[in-house]
Amino acid sequence: MAQQSPASQPRRILLIHTRYRLPGGEDAVFEAERTMLEQRGHQVTVYERSNGETSGLLGKLLLPFRAIFSFKAMGEVRALIRRDHIQLVHVHNTLLVTSPSVFWACRKEGVPVVQTLHNFRLFCPNGVLLRQGRVCEDCPHHSLFCAVRHACYRGSRAESLVCAAVYAVHRLLGTYRHVFLITPTAFDRDKLLEFNALHPVFDPARLYVKANPVSVTLPAGAPYPFAARKRQIVYAGRLEELKGLRTVLEAWKLLARDPAAPRLILVGSGPLEVWAREQALPNVEFRGTLAPKDLHALMAESMAVVAASLCYESFALVPSEAHLLGTPVLASALGNVGASVTEGVDGLTFAPGDAADLARAVRALPAALVGMDPGIIRSTALEKTGAGSGEACRRLTAIYGEICAGAAGR
């Protein structure tokens, strides 16, 4: 990526985001980048909507049409661009109430626009390329409407039809051919390019890779040497099928009679929590939801973190946090979680969904730690994520500058 001088980088940015009914990682990235830009002197205007806005019978009846193209959102975004003399628009999520109409607002106003892709929804209506607990690539390889047949979005054929229609219509309109895109990992980039070659949606030359902003609260004295850590492994995340919780607990069942097996600490809540507690495993402890500072302290004092996801994930946040704390990761060898680990250097991998193979990795961990260095794990993660010293903001604004320079040259 070409380096841009501060003068060539846009200072007046419009951020656009739609919140889902339940908070998630996309909201956290949006807030982190907004704060990052504001703290470094950018004039940030925000256009923010929530899918919780829809109420009443009329609103619900009109939502499918507004999800495809919202003239209200397009008009409001055009007004903000004019009012604040916006130089660049950065979009996060447009589903459902905002719609991709905002990209047409930018085009009509002659302002470059970039979107961070937090998932694979351009090619997969449910966004995660997962069906019935297994990786599924039917929609990217065949048709978006495969999702309707399988009710992939929120378990509803009607809602899946709306979601598929949004992206099918804008595929026909060529909407995303005029949009710059940011994806958080090289794995995501490669998957998107693979799918785009089958069903062209965007211009490959407009695709950038930039890690999501990640920050941790580093406890005093961390990263700790492995010899000083507690004999425990942390699972942090939603207690659900998608994250591989069943695989983790089945592995600890296999380890139950091994006196050298580390304790498993579960952090989080979710639909499998009741089931998990019913297993009554003696070497498993439930901590519930922890504040980030407390979670990071727990990760820093542990032998490892386990990330057992059964899907590709759009960004491996928990492994990134663990590595920034100098803590190795036991990762399922799949997608971004698997790609986040260098075997024997900052963790170990196991076959996704395979409890016996995870148990093997747990048993192999003490010997593997001899060849790992917590300080190197942390320094490598700092370089990879751009965490600290304003590097994450520099990477983002460099992309902004390149986009604006290219727009000015056309």
Cβ neighbours of 221 (radius 10 Å): 9
Residue 223 has pLDDT above 50, yes or no: yes
- The most confident of 16-25, 190-199, 386-395, 399-408, by mean pLDDT: 190-199
Task: Indicate if 226-385 has the same CATH topology as 6-213+387-409.
Answer: yes
Question: Which pLDDT value is given to residue 56?
Answer: 67
* 3-state DSSP assignment of residue 100: coil
pLDDT of residue 24: 78
Helices vs strands, H then E, count in the chain? 16, 14
pLDDT at 409 over 70: no
Q: Tokens representing 3?
A: 């380096």
For residue 302, list its beta bridge partners: 230
DSSP 33-83: HHHHHHHTT-EEEEEEEEGGG--HHHHHHHHHHHHH--HHHHHHHHHHHHH
| Amino acid 20: pLDDT | 87
Average pLDDT over all residues of the chain: 93
In angstroms, what CA-CA distances link 408 with 86, 175, 205? 14, 20, 16
Pairing, β 134-135 against β 230-236: unpaired
Other beta carbons less than 10 A from residue 68's beta carbon: 19
Residue 322 has pLDDT above 50, yes or no: yes
Share above pLDDT 90 across residues of the chain, in percent, rounded to a whole number: 84
Do residues 335 and 187 make contact, with C-beta atoms less than 8 angstroms apart? yes
pLDDT of residue 343: 97
Q: What would be the CATH architecture of the domain defined by 6-213+387-409?
A: 3-Layer(aba) Sandwich (3.40)
Average pLDDT over residues 321-333: 98
Domains of the chain, by residue range, sit at: 6-213+387-409, 226-385
Mean pLDDT over residues 186-210, rounded? 97
Q: Quick one: DSSP state of residue 142?
A: T
CB atoms within 10 A of CB 219: 16
399 phi, psi to nearest 5 deg: -65, -45
Percent of the chain at pLDDT exceeding 70: 96
In angstroms, rounded to a whole number, what is the distance separating the alpha carbons of residues 27 and 38? 17
This prediction has a pTM of 0.87
Q: What is the pLDDT of residue 2?
A: 45
CATH, range 226-385: 3.40.50.2000
Alpha-carbon span 55 to 232, nearest angstrom? 47
Return phi, psi of residue 127, to 5°: 85, -15
- Answer whether residue 4 shows pLDDT above 70: no
> Is the C-alpha dihedral spanning 299, 262, 243, 341 positive or negative?
positive
Q: Once rounded to an integer, what is the mean pLDDT over residues 300-325?
A: 95
The pLDDT score that the predictor gives to residue 389 is: 58
Q: Please give the residue that has the higher pLDDT: either 185 or 23.
A: 185
What does the pLDDT average to over 314-332? Answer: 95
Mean pLDDT of 39-54: 92
pLDDT exceeds cutoff 90 at 28: no
Q: Cα–Cα distance between 151 and 155 in angstroms, integer?
A: 5
Alpha-helical (H) ranges within 69-212 are 71-83, 101-109, 138-141, 146-150, 157-173, 186-198
Cα separation, 346 vs 361, in Å, equals 13
Give me the mean pLDDT over the 100-110 stretch.
Answer: 98
Mean pLDDT lowest for which of 24-33, 81-90, 101-110, 223-232? Answer: 24-33
Separation of alpha carbons 125 and 139, rounded Å:
8
Residue with tokens 């036991």: 330
The pLDDT tens digits of the residues spanning 244-294 come to 999 999 999 999 999 999 999 999 999 999 999 999 999 999 999 999 999
